[in-house]
Structure 1
Amino acid sequence: MPRTLAILSCLLCVFVSAPVAAKEPVFDVHVHLREGEASLREYRADVAKSDLELSGAAVMWFGGPHQALQGELDKIRAGNDSVIALAAKHPELVPVATVHPYDGQAALDELTRVARQGVKMLKIHPHTQKFDAADPRTLALVRHAGTLGLIVLMDNANILPGDSERLFNLAIQAPKTKFIFAHIGGMNFRFWNMLALARTAQDFFADNIYFDISATAVLAADSPIEPEFVWTLRNVGIGQVLLGSDYPQLGLGRAVDALERLDLTAEEKAKIRSGNARKLFGR
């Protein structure tokens, strides 16, 4: 008995003294910082509450009460400049610009201007900006983004009927542009399982679609639909899946907690937490 206690005591000492493994950094691809530095301070405080290490964040100035509507050229330019300046001061941030597709050549010119200043991502939102993803002006814009090397982030919460179908058709018509579809279709995520079949059609699908799972993962984790959600993530390709919070609507802590509760392997979770984003953004 004394010998057994001694062995247990030694094991306990080793366990207690062993260093705690560092948590893997998180890359958040969906962050709204509507008030610049003030919003960034609040975001960092929110991240710190969850004891997370942030490796990067793609940040945008518009969303919620701050919209970028057709014809608001000066407001859009000023907003883009503000997020570019913020990212210049904080290298972990990826600046996300916006334009309105219906502003035609002015939108293309603004996209060219921000790309020259190092912007790597464009965010446009059919529902809140009041445009049709199937409009030829939208196609012209996203094709131009592709020629500039910009990734196009678009809302895909399936708020509008036919949302996912329109976005898929857009990506098919702009094969040289990389897209991130936010929220992976919301409760219509099942639609995207068809990508597993699209990949089998020769010279049809350029495999240029990525997804952020912001909000939808929070709903799916530990729910009756979780097995289908995980099945969908694997069908679209774990390498195409990115973590997003949609801050300030939802915090990064909730997004990471939801990811951890999904029935995925540790390797799959690591790719989604940061690996895929770092590869996509060249970081």
Structure 2
Amino acid sequence: MAYIDSHVHLDSWKFPNIQDAAGELNQQLIDADFEKAIVLHLEIQNWSVEAMSKVITDFDRIEAFVNVHPTNPKAAEILTKAIREQYFCGLKLHPRLQKFQPDEPEVIELCRHAGTLNIPVLLDAFPDGTGLMQGFNPLAYAALAKACPNTRFIWAHMGGHHVIDFMMLAKRLENVHFDCSYSLLYFRGSSIPQNMVYAMRSMRFERVFYGSDFPDRTIKESLNASIEVLDEFGVNDTQKERLLYGNFKEFMSW
């Protein structure tokens, strides 16, 4: 089986040089039979949009979403250039790290612009302690998606321990999708992985994508551990193929 990873980062802790970081990731993707992976550019990493753009052209298995701050007065301009000239294929937003709420007017405006560019928007939706203290609220994610009906959203990490709330909201929002990165393995030993598989099943294994959140673990370690969890809760081979490959390939029209 071939695979696609919808949620990875470059390892800036281990590799000061972006080309070295990308080379390590690309080789791990090759070794684990991954056809493609989406690298999520982050403004907090010391690598420019231009440097990330070169990674996209230099490494055949790497695609990328650009991280733009919604309150930047030039946000729409930066996003448009990234998509039309710098080879990015989506927008990455991180409410906790970038310190905004998903339903703020500037966020809605930028996400509507992403819709006009026909690109998806991935939002971090993992409520760690910091996020909770910042006012993490599933309804803010829903309000954003509802305000941008022509924009496709990926709620990353399936909302963590709020997965059932996020699932119920997604059932009313056809433009919302999930990736299961990080949460599926972070919460092992609790009821959350079972709840995540329940949510996948309730959504007929549609609109849900595999992600590793590399470099949290190696590409192969995350894949093997995730398959173990899916097997534990009775996910069959056809359903796994959709999660691990088919759904995201169709979503991106690759």
* TM superposition score category, shorter chain reference: 0.7 to 0.9
Contact 1:238 1:271 in 2 (8 A): yes
TM-score by length of 1: 0.77
Equivalent residue runs for 1:252-271 within 5 Å: 252-261=219-228, 262=230, 263=233, 264-271=235-242
1:98 aligns with 2:67: yes
Cα separation, 2, equivalents of 1:247 and 1:182: 13
- The structure-2 alpha-carbon separation of the partners of 1:80 and 1:272, relative to structure 1 and needing over 3 Å to count, comes to same
Runs of 4+ deviating beyond 6 Å: none
- The structure-2 alpha-carbon separation of the partners of 1:39 and 1:218, relative to structure 1 and needing over 3 Å to count, comes to same
1:178 aligns with 2:152: yes
**Could you give the per-residue CA deviations for residues 38-89 of structure 1, whole angstroms, max 9, x where no partner exists?**
11222245456xx5101001113326x517xxxxxxxxxx722222221112
Please report how far the alpha carbon of residue 36 of structure 1 lies from its aligned counterpart in structure 2 after TM superposition: 2.2
Correspondent of 1:251 among 208, 214, 218: 218
Cα separation, 1, equivalents of 2:211 and 2:120: 15
Contact 1:179 1:209 in 2 (8 A): yes
Aligned to 2:76: 108
Cα separation, 1, equivalents of 2:3 and 2:153: 21
Cα separation, 2, equivalents of 1:251 and 1:165: 33
SS in structure 2 opposite 1:239?
A: coil
1:58 aligns with 2:38: yes
**Could you give the per-residue CA deviations for residues 108-165 of structure 1, whole angstroms, max 9, x where no partner exists?**
1111111212422110101111122121000000000010111101100023233322
1:38 aligns with 2:26: no
Equivalent residue runs for 1:1-283 within 5 Å: 24-33=1-10, 34=12, 35-47=17-29, 52-62=32-42, 66=45, 79-104=48-73, 106-117=74-85, 118-159=87-128, 160=131, 161-195=135-169, 198=172, 205=173, 207-220=174-187, 223-261=190-228, 262=230, 263=233, 264-283=235-254
Contact 1:31 1:246 in 2 (8 A): yes
Cα separation, 1, equivalents of 2:217 and 2:149: 32
Contact 1:217 1:255 in 2 (8 A): no
Contact 2:26 2:59 in 1 (8 A): no
- The structure-2 alpha-carbon separation of the partners of 1:53 and 1:197, relative to structure 1 and needing over 3 Å to count, comes to closer
Letter in 1 for 2:68: V
Letter in 1 for 2:9: H
Instruction: Give me the identity figure in percent.
Output: 27
SS in structure 2 opposite 1:228?
A: helix
TM-score by length of 2: 0.85
